[in-house]
Amino acid sequence: MKKTTKFVFLLLIASNSNAGGIDLPSIAASHQASANSNGAEAADASVLYYNPAGMSYLKQRNISISGSLITFRGKVKDNGSTGTPEPFDNSNEEGRPLGPNGEDPYASGGSGSFWPKLLGLGSFFYTAPYDDNITLGVGVFSPGGGNINYKNDWSGAYQVDAIALELININPSIAVRFDEKHSIGFGASIIGGHLRYRTQLDAKGLQPYLLQEALSELNVDTLTVTPEIQDVITSACKIRVLIDAVCGIKVGEVLPRPIIDAISSPLANVIVDPSSRASGLIEMYGYGFGYNLGYMYGLSDRSRIGLSFRSSSKINFRGRSEWYLDDLKARPVVGTSIVSLLNNDGNQDLGDFLGDYLLPETTTKAVFNVPARLSISYFSALNDKTDLMLDYTFIKSSILDELAVGFGIEEDSNGKRVILADAKIPLKWRDSYKASLGINHHINDATTLKAGFQYDKTPIPSKEFRHPALPESDRYMTSLGFNHRINKNLSIDGAYSLLVFEDSKSEYRNKCRFNNPEDSSGSCTGIGGTFRGEFSDTYANIISLQINSRY
């Protein structure tokens, strides 16, 4: 007989980054300085990422190496988050209160702010002309990712404690120049990824969902009341979780299966010591493939327009789940007695029981789609001193309708299969976009000042789909920077950007209930509470430096 544990490990592969939910605000300092508006400028090797056709405008071998530091700040206010509702209680969608005024000792911390405060990233680009018409290149960069941590006792700890996503893209490319006006480019992407996600487990809220099923699966049709079983029933009756008819049962009486089923749910609700805590971790690695295309049309010797497309990429993650259950304790007498009945060897340790029969450490798998994007960009040298640049990028972020994690099948100590239901988190993201405007001002032949502004539309449709692992909202980025040519073969770029997030609210509710599954398959979780909060004063400072060499 197989066991199906209706518990879902909450997973959100996302980040605290930029448009489409995973973009980073800086790939290269030379583009960040003008708020990523200069995809058609083709000033250095980093154009490979924005439009591979632009490589044909680089006449020598070019190397660009860029590094960035991002400091992140933001406030989180709890507005009445709740824990898991009681089983079979359809009268109330809310569970017990959490947060500073709530009932849970391990989800009562103040919301505070985000961590870490400092993130770093970098990129490398190389281009080389093969002949007068063909240019080859390769880029190594992060197409997206992020890292966000909260305190492990904050009011949203049962939704997310910490998450980190790192992606790296190796992007070999080729550009072909047909004449003075027309160039095309093509690139292949090999993407590697690492995901680490941790959450606290709602020990009090989970107990009836996890253990009711275990109790109902006692492999007996009748149960003779022993002194130990009578002690369990008597203790449960004292805290009024059993009906009087059951409370009168004596030693030696035989309980039929219907009575065993009837007492399983209320007994499950008194097994876990309310001071217990537990947590879970998923760590996975994955890879995927994609491609990018580009076209550049020279309107004149002073202006051009570019069109580029970067395909969606399916990242296949594989890894393992880990459960930290050592601090998950059973109530004295009632809980320990029930656990000893459930364990074949009479072991009273609740953590050992759950780790063997209900929450085994197992393999995990997930598929994450990096959204496709289509960009149109424009560059014009208005005069000898000033350049104007524009960019509009459409992002097909609606591909992220939901996120799901599958768990491998393990066997308990009795050789029975333990199946953890797939994790499913609805996103319902909509398509998004970003638009930017930039200006170059050439002070002299050696030094150019840059400035730009970028607006990013969030893909999150409403507060009901804003998970605390992704405090996403509309964003505004203002950038300043420079390029300074040290000699004819060496130059440096510097950039500073202020990225501001609009204030936003979250009312993310896990609607799945033990007796009211969220979907027809019955795949659901006992963590059915609501994170209700507000994100404000959220911004990032980004400082970048880039070295360019040509020879």
The full DSSP string for 101-149 is TSS-TTS-B---B-B-SEEEEEEEEEEEESSSSEEEEEEEE--SEEEEE
**Amino acid making up residue 480:** L
CA distance 486 to 470: 42
The CATH number of domain 8-198+279-321+360-540 is 2.40.160.60: yes
Question: Which region holds residue 234: left if phi is over 0, alpha if psi is between -120 and 50, else beta?
Answer: alpha
Q: Is the distance from CB of 76 to CB of 111 less than 8 angstroms?
A: yes
How much of the chain is in helix, strand and coil states, percent to nearest 5?
Answer: 15, 45, 40
Residue 47: per-residue pLDDT: 95
Backbone angles phi, psi at 117, to 5 degrees: -85, -15
Q: What is the pLDDT along the chain (551 residues), one digit of tens a residue?
A: 455 554 444 433 333 333 334 567 889 999 999 999 999 999 999 999 999 999 999 989 999 999 999 888 888 888 888 877 765 555 556 777 887 777 777 777 766 666 566 778 899 999 999 999 999 999 999 877 777 778 777 888 888 888 888 889 999 999 999 998 999 999 999 999 998 888 888 777 766 666 666 666 555 555 667 676 676 667 666 655 555 656 777 777 776 766 666 666 566 666 778 778 888 888 999 999 999 999 999 999 899 999 999 999 999 999 998 888 888 888 777 677 777 777 767 788 888 888 887 788 889 998 888 899 999 999 999 999 999 999 999 999 998 887 778 888 888 887 888 877 777 777 888 999 999 999 999 999 999 999 999 999 999 999 988 888 777 899 999 999 999 999 989 999 999 999 999 999 998 887 655 444 444 444 444 466 788 888 888 888 999 999 999 98
* Paired tokens of 255: 């309980």
| Domain boundary assignment for the chain | 8-198+279-321+360-540
| Residue 358 DSSP label | I
Question: Which region holds residue 337: left if phi is over 0, alpha if psi is between -120 and 50, else beta?
Answer: alpha
CA distance 422 to 549: 50
Residues contacting residue 525 through CB under 8 Å, at least 6 positions apart: 6, 7, 8, 10, 209, 421, 423, 510, 512
**Burial level of 367, CB count in 10 A (0-12/13-18/19+)?**
middle
Residue 212: per-residue pLDDT: 65
The sign of the torsion formed by the CA atoms of 23, 25, 30, 33 equals positive
